[in-house]
Structure 1
């Protein structure tokens, strides 16, 4: 089972990050975000299952547990004798990963609660009487866009339309799900932290491009983003985590992309590489599960 641990916990997570960094700019932003988020989620799930299996192995090595369930704990110990540290290290890593995922999940729920507002009848746009410039999309059924009066006053009518198109693109494409997948994956395995940051950037780029198509002017969308970013500089509102047009180091990159002609990026066979790595890790983990139960069967007296 140790080879499964090495492959799924140690090798694949950083390897898939390297692969996605090389391929991200070769794919359309919307496609790259989906590939990254789901590949990272598959790798994180495989890593987590391997940690669970080795933690169960550590528990199975305890003599009292072996007597309770009727298997020889010595057989289990002998199976991992060459790497005796792995089961107990896995137990520690599993606890850390579980706590990290729990905290990240609670953070998402808290942000959603803070962003809840009463919807007007027959509409999905909520205008808040607040001088603080804010604009964000809140997922739900139906989802809605919240814009403060402070933000509205800063934008021209065309820029305001661009802002709404951008936020509605998040809702239509379900970008919050991709963000959640990527952030939970990063919480599971620290090697995947870059994925969460990149998916966050890519969904913003995808919404920018969709807004540019709807408005018919890339320059207008770029100006709206720049104005909104400058207005929200220094904001610490947790609702910005739901993709308000907030400031940040990636905003100049987004604006620069909009001010140049759209790049002709197409789905490439290379885009299947991170997906294949993730699937390989999941399949390999399935074999680890099989090996674990085979070990328990071998430990039972004949």
Structure 2
């Protein structure tokens, strides 16, 4: 079974993480966000099932557990006799993953409960809540009674065109159910350390997807770019544009902050990008899932043989 651990816990997660980091800012953001997060979630699920299978094997290696089940602990240990550490490392990874998943779920429920305090407030016909608050904030509250919350501080800082772009951006988050993609990304990051490096690129990708949807709705990419810049400046008083040029070089763009990169992407000419590279992480994730099924089958055969 050791080859399953190498492929599904070491090689495939690293390949998926590398592919997603490379492709996140190089493809059409609306399609890329869905496909890349789905591939990530599939790879994370495969990894979790695999380490859980090895954790079960670790427990079956203990005489105190194997004996009542009439399983030969020596037979189970012999399967990975050359790598005795793999079962116990998997057990530790399983415990860490379960704790991480519970932590993400708890934080998500807390944040959802906080955000939904605003669903009962009076809203306009298009479900916009204008909150009397000097702070400049705007966010979407998903759910059956979805709302877009904008503070008076944010509204006062934007002109009518920028405000329309802001609302279109938040509406895009709700329509595309981006909150689910972000939750899946955080749950996946709790399973494998390599996936934690993807949270920032995927968060950026989701914001870019909302930017593009808003630009398409308003048919004005510059208006959305100006709204993003204006909202970022008033929402964070310490933010500085840093003299970013309208068309920065690629090397400069890679090291720029998220907001300048989003603005620069909207101001740049929109070209057609092939979605074919999305097949790479999807195929790696599919391969990992297939091998996970075989890993579970091999574990069942091992335990059955150990009983005999």
Check whether TM > 0.5.
yes
SS in 2 for 1:69: coil
1:37 touches 1:195 (CA, 8 Å); kept in 2? Answer: no
Deviation at 1:119, TM superposition (A): 4.2
The aligned runs of 1:155-170 (5 Å cut-off) are 155-170=158-173
1:46 touches 1:285 (CA, 8 Å); kept in 2? Answer: yes
Unaligned 5+ segments in structure 1 are 236-247
Deviation at 1:67, TM superposition (A): 1.7
Q: Please give the per-residue CA displacement for 1:168-206, whole angstroms capped at 9, x wherever unaligned.
A: 000001111111111111111110123222221111111
Q: Which residue in the other structure is 2:219 paired with?
A: 216
1:162 touches 1:221 (CA, 8 Å); kept in 2? Answer: yes
Q: Which residue in the other structure is 1:102 paired with?
A: 102
Deviation at 1:123, TM superposition (A): 4.4
Q: 1:300 aligns with which of 300, 304, 307?
A: 307
The aligned runs of 1:176-255 (5 Å cut-off) are 176-233=179-236, 249-255=257-263
Q: Please give the per-residue CA displacement for 1:122-171, whole angstroms capped at 9, x wherever unaligned.
A: 54111111111000011101321100011000010111110000000000
Count, aligned residues: 288
1:138 touches 1:145 (CA, 8 Å); kept in 2? Answer: yes
Q: Please give the per-residue CA displacement for 1:2-46, whole angstroms capped at 9, x wherever unaligned.
A: 100110101111111222233334421011111211111111111
- Which stretch shows the higher mean deviation, 250-259 or 72-81? 72-81
1:8 touches 1:46 (CA, 8 Å); kept in 2? Answer: yes
Distance 2:145 2:209 in 1: 21
Unaligned 5+ segments in structure 2 are 239-255
Q: 1:258 aligns with which of 248, 266, 269?
A: 266
Cα RMSD of the aligned pairs, angstroms, is 1.6
Distance 2:286 2:45 in 1: 11
SS in 1 for 2:140: strand
Distance 1:55 1:205 in 2: 40
Distance 1:25 1:203 in 2: 11
1:26 touches 1:266 (CA, 8 Å); kept in 2? Answer: no
Q: Please give the per-residue CA displacement for 1:96-140, whole angstroms capped at 9, x wherever unaligned.
A: 111112112211111111111114365411111111100001110
Distance 2:30 2:126 in 1: 27
2:25 touches 2:205 (CA, 8 Å); kept in 1? Answer: no
Change (3 A) 1:53 1:234: farther
Deviation at 1:281, TM superposition (A): 0.3
Deviation at 1:234, TM superposition (A): 6.2
SS in 1 for 2:150: strand
Distance 1:8 1:227 in 2: 45
Distance 2:133 2:191 in 1: 37
Change (3 A) 1:184 1:234: farther
1:41 touches 1:181 (CA, 8 Å); kept in 2? Answer: yes
2:30 touches 2:212 (CA, 8 Å); kept in 1? Answer: no
Q: Which residue in the other structure is 2:115 paired with?
A: 115
Q: Which residue in the other structure is 1:239 paired with?
A: none
